[in-house]
A and B are shown apart, each in its own frame.
Chain A
Amino acid sequence: MSSDLGQGNLMSPRSNIWLLLLLFSPVNVLVLSSFDNVFAQEAEEYVIRRVEIWALFYRLMVAAFVVGAVVQGAIVYICWRFRESHKKNRIREIEGV
Chain B
Amino acid sequence: MVLEVKQPRPLWEILFSTHHTDIGLLYLITSITALMLGGALALALRAELFLPGLQLFQDPTSFNRFFTVHGTTMLFLWAIPFFAGVGNYLVPIMVRYKDMAWPKLNAVAFWMIPVGAALVWVGFADTGWTAYPPYSIIRAPGPAAEMWIFGLKILGISSILGSINFIVTILSCRHPDLSIMKISLFAWSILAVSLMTLVAVPTFAASLIMLYTDRLGISGFFNPAMGGDPIAYQHLFWFTFHPEVYIFLLPAVGMLYEIIPKFSRKPLFSYQSGVAAFVLIAIIGFASWAHHMFAVGMSFTEKTVFMVGTLAAVPASAMHVFNWLATMWGGRIKFAVPLLFGVGGIMLFFASGAGGVVNTALPLDFITHDSYWVVGHFHLILMGTVSLTFTGFIYYLFPLITGRMYNERAGQIHFVLAFVGVIFVFITQHVLGLYGMPRRIVDYDATMPGWLIMNQIATVGAWIAGLSYIIMLVNLIKSAGSGKEADMKDPFQIGEEYYDYKRREPHH
Residues of A within 8 A of B (CB): 31, 34-35, 38-39, 52-54, 56-57, 60-61, 64, 67-68, 71-72, 74-75, 78-79, 82-84, 89
Contact = CB atoms under 8 A, between A and B. Distances in A.
Interface of B: 264, 300, 321, 325, 328-335, 343, 346-347, 350-351, 354, 357-358, 361, 363-364, 366-367
Contacts of B325: 74-75, 78
Given A56-B363, A75-B325, A78-B333, 9 more contacts: A31-B361, A52-B363, A53-B367, A56-B364, A57-B364, A60-B358, A68-B354, A82-B333, A83-B335
B321 A60 contact: no
A5 B92 CA distance: 51
B373 to A, nearest CB: 11
Contacts of B333: 78-79, 82-84
Nearest to B494: A84
Nearest to B263: A84
B331 A82 contact: yes
Complex A-B, nearest 10 residue pairs according to Cβ-Cβ distance, in ascending order: A38-B363, A64-B354, A78-B328, A84-B332, A53-B363, A89-B332, A82-B333, A71-B350, A83-B333, A82-B331
A75 B343 contact: yes
A60 B454 CA distance: 23
A71 B358 contact: no
Most buried by A among B321, B346, B350, B363: B363
Contacts of B334: 84
A90 B328 CA distance: 16
Contacts of B331: 82
Nearest to B340: A79
Contacts, number: 61
8 contacts: A53-B363, A54-B367, A60-B358, A60-B364, A61-B358, A75-B347, A78-B329, A83-B335
B363 A68 contact: no
Contacts of A52: 363
Contact of A82 (B264, B346, B366): B264
A85 to B, nearest CB: 8
Nearest to A64: B354
Most buried by B among A54, A60, A82: A82
A71 B322 CA distance: 9
Most buried by A among B321, B333, B350: B333
A52 to B, nearest CB: 8
A47 B407 CA distance: 61
A53 B366 contact: yes
A60 B328 contact: no
A64 B357 contact: yes
Contacts of B321: 71
B332 A82 contact: yes
Nearest to A53: B363
Contacts of B300: 39
Contacts of A79: 328, 333, 335, 343
Nearest to A56: B363
Nearest to B318: A71
Contact of A35 (B350, B363, B367): B363
Nearest to B331: A82
A82 B264 CA distance: 8
B328 A64 contact: no
B479 to A, nearest CB: 23
Contact of B351 (A68, A83, A84, A89): A68
Nearest to B361: A60
A49 to B, nearest CB: 8
Contacts of B350: 68, 71-72
Nearest to A78: B328
A74 B343 CA distance: 12
A57 B367 contact: yes
A84 B334 CA distance: 6
A34 B325 CA distance: 33
A57 B358 contact: yes
Contacts of B347: 72, 75
B316 to A, nearest CB: 16
Contacts of B358: 57, 60-61, 64
B332 A53 contact: no
A67 B318 CA distance: 12
A35 B303 CA distance: 13
A74 B333 CA distance: 15
B495 to A, nearest CB: 10
A81 to B, nearest CB: 9
B280 to A, nearest CB: 18
A54 B343 CA distance: 33
Contacts of A64: 354, 357-358
A78 B335 CA distance: 12
Nearest to B354: A64
Contacts of A57: 358, 364, 367
Contacts of A75: 325, 343, 346-347
Contact of B329 (A38, A72, A82, A89): A82
A38 B358 CA distance: 15
A78 to B, nearest CB: 5
B354 to A, nearest CB: 5
